[in-house]
Structure 1
């Protein structure tokens, strides 16, 4: 992918094998997730999309997998979002990218129920020129109450190259989490994810979903909980939360997939209070590694877990020590 001028964009991607039978606009929206499907459909209808060297103006055309796609178009802002003076915790910055350590209770991109007060609004305030970049340079997202590291592109060139790196799985994202239940060893969850058929705010494992792969390893075991380090190969909505719930180890505090807290027998009042009051998914994006989109240099950032998760882990550790004699592992 490369950018020819400030607002002109040339994209070159390949339809993936698992997309066999999908509509062209649907397949491209999955690959180029930083652009809306309606925008991609417009590009197709306007003749800006070539499939294997031939202009294709039918969004409903079915793909087979392996097609070479070229998009030559002009970028314009889809929506005039308002700039808002919201502080950002900037871990790293240069002329091409930003790396942000996102707090809890902050949405990344405006949407239904969150028209403003988001990271996108903050970016428009602190970096006015980022309005020229689709979605204000946002390349990937974190859920509202997931904390940790995310990268933002400051230019179209940086964004298109980062999106390509995501597609090629060249960006490494690792998380820390605390899950319910005792997990004895690490493993991989390789299960497709799609929108839940009846609960529209939920995602679910389903055979016709998009491919999703999550690797996890055990960092520490407690009496009825486990601290995990996880690495994403793909970046589906709610991926870690859905995958861990799927293997019967949902994350502590997860309002959508977690269920009720499960305190171990004989837990202290402090333990019970911390567990009851932990009101978000215990999930933190702790490490981000990528090749710089302009220089090609490999870069890595690490963000320590936030205070609320530190407190949660401490009471779990203390509880486990107090009942060490009762453990059978």
Structure 2
């Protein structure tokens, strides 16, 4: 299916001499520069009724610009009834508290049963939005808050806000090792040189910045609160591993159980049975793409991480000498 786009506006005096792609982006800010350039090259943008296919074409005051284009349905996934924990919804956005085990996009080994399949069932019109409105991702076994756009315009605004670092995303995590203070990891992330499903800190990667602070100390573990400036694949997991504090339960980056000395059997079993990375997107804040109102949501830490934290506290209380 396709969505018809029909736009019309007039070049202003201040836009005289601008490039066509720049002027059209200013006239119709709900659409990205990349999409507008594609429309120009495809002959979908008209000046005074004449199709212009050169993005660098200069425009003049009072010229009439029209866009007549279609947005192809990019979603190939099928709608499936899958339970979603919807924290907030209106005509423009959906905020979801994603459960562990839910993959965001269909892909190799996960052709269905994903968040995208669930969104298409919950909101069928979202099929007209690229990637079914998904703006950012959480890993399969990471829980917590995600925002989804219900319209192309909302998605364009939210993607731009992410790129401008105007959306706040905070996480709770439990890492291996005792950390004494918070800090910032500012290291680029890219594909691992030999393990293609892994990410790594690499000079050829894209900029990535993670801020973290200590929320609670245990004998051999630390509970952290983290805030992302960027949103690279596996960013928190890679950055914490890079500084020597792998997330508890992380199957990819080495979060194997490491119980402290003299730990009880019950505590050792709790660590062994925690089978996912201990990471939860706890807070999301953004300016609404339509009203511009600043909105904020909190998602309670899931029960498995709550129980892990209780076990860590109990172990620490049983060995107070190790905290001196």
Matches within 5 A, 1:295-314: 295-314=291-310
Normalising by structure 1, report the TM-score.
Answer: 0.80
SS in 2 for 1:87: coil
The structure 1 segments of at least 4 consecutive aligned residues displaced by more than 6 Å after TM superposition are 39-45, 47-52
Match of 1:208 among 188, 197, 204: 204
Q: How much does 1:48 deviate?
A: 7.5
| Structure 1 Cα separation of the partners of residues 165 and 54 of structure 2 | 24
**Given the alignment of the two structures, is residue 114 of structure 1 paired with residue 110 of structure 2, yes or no?**
yes
**Given the alignment of the two structures, is residue 88 of structure 1 paired with residue 90 of structure 2, yes or no?**
no
SS in 2 for 1:54: coil
**Given the alignment of the two structures, is residue 274 of structure 1 paired with residue 270 of structure 2, yes or no?**
yes
| Structure 2 Cα separation of the partners of residues 231 and 40 of structure 1 | 32
Q: How much does 1:126 deviate?
A: 1.0
Matches within 5 A, 1:39-50: 46=42
Is contact 2:201-2:242 (8 Å) kept? yes
> Which residue does the alignment assign to 2:188?
192
Is contact 1:212-1:234 (8 Å) kept? yes
| Structure 1 Cα separation of the partners of residues 317 and 68 of structure 2 | 61
Match of 1:243 among 239, 243, 249: 239
> Which residue does the alignment assign to 2:56?
54
SS in 1 for 2:207: coil
**Given the alignment of the two structures, is residue 226 of structure 1 paired with residue 228 of structure 2, yes or no?**
no
Is contact 1:218-1:227 (8 Å) kept? yes
Alignment RMSD: 2.7
Matches within 5 A, 1:1-329: 6-8=3-5, 46=42, 53-54=55-56, 74-328=70-324
Q: How much does 1:184 deviate?
A: 0.4
Q: How much does 1:259 deviate?
A: 4.0
| Structure 2 Cα separation of the partners of residues 255 and 47 of structure 1 | 49
| Structure 2 Cα separation of the partners of residues 271 and 253 of structure 1 | 14
Is contact 2:174-2:223 (8 Å) kept? yes
Is contact 2:126-2:150 (8 Å) kept? yes
Larger Rg: 2
Normalising by structure 2, report the TM-score.
Answer: 0.81
Unaligned runs of 5+ in 2: 8-31, 46-51, 58-66
Q: How much does 1:7 deviate?
A: 4.2
Q: How much does 1:163 deviate?
A: 0.7
Is contact 2:41-2:53 (8 Å) kept? no
